[in-house]
Amino acid sequence: MIAPPRRLLWLGAFLCCALSLMAGGMPVARAAAAPLGSGESCATSTTGAVIVTAECLDATYADAVIESEEDVTSPTTLHIVRGYFEGTSSRFAVYLPPAGQWQGRFFQYTYPLTDENAADETILFGVNSGGYTVQASGSSGYRHAAAAAKVSREIAASYYGDDGRHIYGYLYGPSGGSFQTVGAVENTTGVWDGFVPTVMGTPVSIPNNFFIRAMGRLVLGDVRQQISGAVLNGSDPYAGLNDAQTLMLEEMTALGVQLEGWEDPDYLLGYSFDDGLLGYVAMVKRMDPTYADDFWNESGYLGTEDSPLGEVVRAALVDTTLSVTAVERDGAGSPAALMTEGFPAGALDEGLDMQVLDNDGAPVGELVGTLDATTGRIHLDEGSDAAALAALAEGTQIATDNRWSIAVRSYYRHQLPPQEEGFTVYNRFYDDAGEPLYPQRQSRIAGMMASSISGGATYSGLFQGKVILVSNLQDVDAYTWHAPWYVERVRSAQGDAGVDERLRIYVNENADHLEGPVTGEKSTRIVSYDPMVQRALRELVAWVEEDVEPASSTSYTVAGGQVVLPSTAAERAGVQPVVTLAADTTTAEVGQPVRFEVSADMPASAGELVRIDWEFTGTGDYVEAMQTSEENVRASVEHVFAEPGAYWVTVRATSAAAENSDSFAQVQNLARVRVVVRETGGQSDPTPMSTPSATDAAPTPLATRPAVQSASTIAPSTAVTASATVPGAAVSATPTPSAASGSAKTLARTGVPAVALMAGAVSVLALGALLVARRRA
């Protein structure tokens, strides 16, 4: 029930003095109670999920309190209604545009850590798409969001005037929000009409995806730039690796770390994060406290396995005692840092557990901090035991080891999903009889995390609404194959007809896991996926409200854990332009003109190209070259480099639906080519980084790699293929005459040249806990 107001809470920098009538609507009637449901309690599924319908009453969110209303003019003219649910920590806000701009729908963003204050971009997209925006403060699951959606309908009916029509609703969320969105997809009816889960997690994502990369960090950290260079160059990423490194790269690739992700090796291997991808160690300790002991002592674990990877793991083990030589204290006299001695030279200093010992060698308490192995200085963080801090003095002994942080990195081998759930990338860890190759832990933590964050979703593939999935080819947090996996879950549950009637999938070729605008150097290789989400939402609106078929799904193949896209727009479909870039030379002298040619094509019925931008410096300083309204663009430009060096030249194509007249939902893609510029009369680059043509024969980089055999390499050798293509969406792209003529030019497809080609040739043997979508700064 909407309860009478209890207090007025004005949020924001200032209160605009505009009247409600200026917004074209009426103040919300707050004194009278309005029902949120029929009074019948919402049912519960056999798995414990609450099934929320438009009519049922969820007792936890039964009473909505309207706290405040205000009229603002920034970021646009809005009437904002704020409130909360009695007896919970969940708050909500409804952002209502003027009646003349509202077309009978709302959009709702969800993420476990957000509050009710919607971003300007979120609000403006809603207004420009004919909807109001509703947002609820973060919580696991979908029930708080469903309650906010139902309240928002009551508020909108009061504000705009209740004419009895159905108000359409659309829920979307990235990463951790994708768990919530899928929970809503499968456990609600009539609350929302369409859904866009983005960069989606699965019941094997947390903590496995992070531990897979943390294991890669341990083995491949020292050669990460070498691998990255090989991927960029389109050459063999395994060349020059030792046996353990070969096995690890092979395993990461087979489990779904896209080769494209090596474009940014520091992010991929966690060097960009303070926790080094080990943020879930404490969770595993609590939920599986005997794991580390088993890892180092029992057979079947890398801690005891006689293999190249086992040797690396054992060599990384630290188990030592440090001696405190000085205690640095803050202004209050509390220990802030320590100087120590005794850490082994060259040993790994990340993920250390530290226990203060008394004079008899017995543990006093745990220290939380980070050690600089070079100086021996320990910076103390919050969370240390009070007794441990009190015992610190010169000469204090600190037992220090990394047993847990090393052991947990291969935890993904020991909590395998059942094969019947369709996670084929994990089949490499099963034998031919369907038995796990390694000991399995009693708790399947990944499944528990997914259930908790989603509110009890089983990822059954059964639902009644309409869904568009958005996935990104350079996402190393939520692996690209996750969305295709869910497509197959839907296909298994509802058949091909169910997929065609209720589901689409759009894949971004050059996008990663992070929300928000992409700026600076990164914009020369990554595009934002926000416009594709916006495009998906608008496609849903037409599909749900007018029965207009959305643009066809992106076509793809899943092979050996890698998602590979076709090279032409006609084959690929989806809503993203396909872009190629050609240079008439890859080596030039200062002052020599270099000619670049771009080919950009839209898939059938996906809209038109609206802008082509060039970037020549590698800094993200784009220059708009042309505006257009064509489905296919062939253009060229000459550029003179004034300084010697190696340059990545980027062309970026921006597209929009044919009926789109605003700046939202403009999906982009890009392509790059590398040019080495030398002084006039100077020598050519002795090791030029080639950029293979999209029409060249795909390389076979794994054909000559070392034949390393261990239990780790057991995997199916046959590619697993899948497609979510909707029939009837093919059109022949018009080739650029220069490309068709076979002239000696170098084509570089996508932000990671030739990676898709290489991935296609690879034949691999075989919140608390959240999959966090970190917003770009």
* Residue-wise DSSP of 596-650: EEEEEEPPTTS-EEEEEEEE-SSSS--EEEEEEEESEEEEEEEEE-SS-EEEEEE
Is 125 a residue whose pLDDT tops 60?
Answer: yes
- Residue 447 domain-assigned? no
- Say whether 446 sits in a helix, a strand or coil: helix
Same domain, 91 and 115: yes
Q: Are residues 157 and 239 in the same domain?
A: no
The HSE-up count of residue 777 (CA atoms within 13 Å, CB side) is: 2
pLDDT(316) > 60: yes
Once rounded to an integer, what is the mean pLDDT over residues 38-61? 93
* Separation CA 150–CA 66 (nearest Å): 14
Give Cβ neighbours of residue 28 (< 8 Å, ≥ 6 apart): 66, 69, 81, 155, 158, 159
Looking at the structure, do residues 127 and 164 belong to the same domain, yes or no? yes
Whole-angstrom distance, CA of residue 105 vs CA of residue 149: 11
Q: What pLDDT, on the 0 to 100 scale, is given for residue 684?
A: 53
CA–CA distance, 95 with 103 (Å, rounded to integer): 14
Q: Taking the CA of residue 648 as centre, how many other CA atoms within 13 Å lie in the half-sphere pointing to its CB?
A: 24
- Closest to 65 (Cα-Cα) out of 89, 40, 99: 89
Estimate the crossing angle of helix 530-546 against helix 120-128, to 10 degrees. Answer: 30
Question: For the chain, how many residues are written?
Answer: 777
Q: Does 636 or 16 have the greater pLDDT score?
A: 636
Q: Say which residue, 66 or 164, is predicted with more confidence.
A: 66
Q: pLDDT per residue over 198-221, tens digit each?
A: 999 999 999 999 999 999 999 999
Does a structural domain hold residue 643?
A: no
Q: Which residues pair with 589 in a beta bridge?
A: 678
Q: Per 3-state DSSP, what percentage of the chain is helix, strand, and coil (rounded to 5)?
A: 30, 25, 45
Q: Poorest-confidence range of 9-23, 77-91, 589-603, 701-715?
A: 9-23
CA distances from 654 to 52, 514, 604, 624, 762 (A): 40, 19, 16, 11, 31
Tens of pLDDT, residues 539-552: 999 999 999 999 99
32: pLDDT strictly greater than 50: no
Separation between Cα atoms, residue 366 and residue 388, nearest integer Å: 6
Residue 556 near residue 722, CB atoms below 8 Å: yes
Mention every residue, 6+ apart, whose C-beta is less than 8 A from residue 759.
Answer: 258, 259, 260, 559, 562, 564
How far apart are the C-alpha atoms of 643 and 679, rounded to whole Å?
Answer: 8
**Shared domain check, 324 and 303:** no
Q: Decide which of 360, 381, 401 is a domain's last residue.
A: 401
Least confident of 239-243, 401-405, 727-731: 727-731
Q: Which domain holds residue 276?
A: 208-313+408-429
* Measured distance CA(145)–CA(612) in Å, rounded: 39
List pLDDT tens digits, range 677-719. 999 876 654 443 333 333 333 333 333 333 343 333 333 322 3
Instruction: Give the tokens for residue 464.
Output: 């009644």
What pLDDT is recorded for position 624? 87
- Classify residue 602 as left (phi > 0), alpha (psi -120 to 50) or beta: beta
| SS3 (DSSP) at 540 | helix
**Which alpha helices (H) appear in 332-480, and where do they start and end?**
386-390, 403-407, 445-454
How much is the average pLDDT of 328-342?
96
Confidence tier at 357 by pLDDT (50, 70, 90): very high
Predicted local distance difference test score (pLDDT) of residue 699: 32
Question: Is the distance from CB of 715 to CB of 765 less than 8 angstroms?
Answer: yes
The answer to whether residues 56 and 165 belong to one domain is yes
Percent residues over pLDDT 90 in the chain: 80
* In-domain check, residue 50: yes
Q: What is the pLDDT of residues 166-182, one digit of tens each?
A: 999 999 999 999 999 99
Ramachandran quadrant class, 323 (left: phi over 0; alpha: psi -120 to 50; beta: rest) = beta
192 pLDDT higher than 90: yes
In whole angstroms, give the CA distance from residue 353 to residue 369.
Answer: 9
DSSP β-ladder status, 578-583 and 746-749: antiparallel
Q: Judge contact between 667 and 655, C-beta under 8 A.
A: yes
- Angle in degrees, CA 687, 688, 691, rounded to 5: 140
Decide if 75 is inside a domain.
yes
Residue type at 689? M
Average pLDDT, integer, range 589-617: 97
Q: Let me know whether 140 and 214 are in one domain.
A: no
Over residues 493-534, the pLDDT tens digits come to: 999 999 999 999 999 999 999 999 999 999 999 999 999 999
Is 244 found in the same domain as 228? yes
Quote the tokens at residue 108.
Answer: 């709702």
What is the DSSP code (8-state) at residue 573?
Answer: B
Give the separation between CA 29 and CA 18, rounded to whole angstroms. Answer: 18
- What is d(CA 580, CA 650) in angstroms, rounded to the nearest whole number? 10
CB-based contact 711:310 (threshold 8 Å): no
> What token pair was written down for 514?
């992070």
Residue 443 lies in a domain: no
Q: What is the pLDDT of residues 245-270, one digit of tens each?
A: 999 999 999 999 999 999 999 999 99
Same domain? For 273 and 370 the reply is no
The number of domains in the chain is: 3
For 777, residues 6+ apart whose C-beta sits below 8 A from its C-beta are none
pLDDT band at 12 (very low <50, low <70, confident <90, very high): very low
> Does the residue 234 lie in any domain?
yes
Question: Could you please report the per-residue DSSP string of 469-487?
Answer: EEEETT-SSS-TTHHHHHH
What tokens appear for 756 in the block?
Answer: 């898709």
Q: Are 138 and 13 found together in one domain?
A: yes
What is the DSSP-derived secondary structure letter of residue 24?
T
Confidence of residue 294 (pLDDT cuts 50, 70, 90): very high
| Residue 244 placed within a domain | yes
- pTM metric for this prediction: 0.85
Residue 720 lies in a domain: no
158: tokens are: 């009061």
- The edge-to-edge listing of strands for the beta sheet with 397-401 is 363-367, 353-357, 397-401, 319-329, 335-341, 377-380, 369-372
pLDDT at 27: 55
Q: Both 420 and 397 in a single domain?
A: no
Strand 188-189 relative to strand 50-53: parallel, antiparallel, unpaired? parallel
Q: Examine the fold and report which residue of 361, 382, 401 is the final residue of a domain before the chain moves on.
A: 401
Q: Is the dihedral of CA 358, 361, 363, 367 positive or negative?
A: positive
DSSP one-letter string for 229-293: HHHHHTS-TTTT--HHHHHHHHHHHHHT--GGGGGSHHHHTTTTSTTTT-TTHHHHHHH-TTHHH
The single-letter code of the amino acid at 367 is: L
Are 122 and 218 members of one domain? Answer: no
Residue 186's pLDDT band, with cuts at 50, 70 and 90, is: very high
Distance (Å, whole) CA 220 – CA 210: 15
The residue among 6 and 646 whose pLDDT is bigger is 646
**563-587 average pLDDT score:** 97
Rounded Cα distance, 651 and 669, in Å: 9
The verdict on 382 and 414 lying in the same domain is no
- pLDDT tier, 19 (very low <50, low <70, confident <90, very high otherwise): very low
* Cα–Cα distance for residue pair 116/454, rounded to 1 Å: 19
- Domain boundary pick from 382, 401, 420: 401
Could you tell me the CATH number of the domain that includes residue 326? 2.40.30
Tokens of 287: 């939920």
Q: Is the peptide bond before 727 cis (omega within 30 degrees of 0)?
A: no
pLDDT of residue 776: 56
672-709 b/e with 16+ CB inside 10 Å = b? bbbbbbbeeeeeeeeeebbbbbbeeebbebbeeeeebe
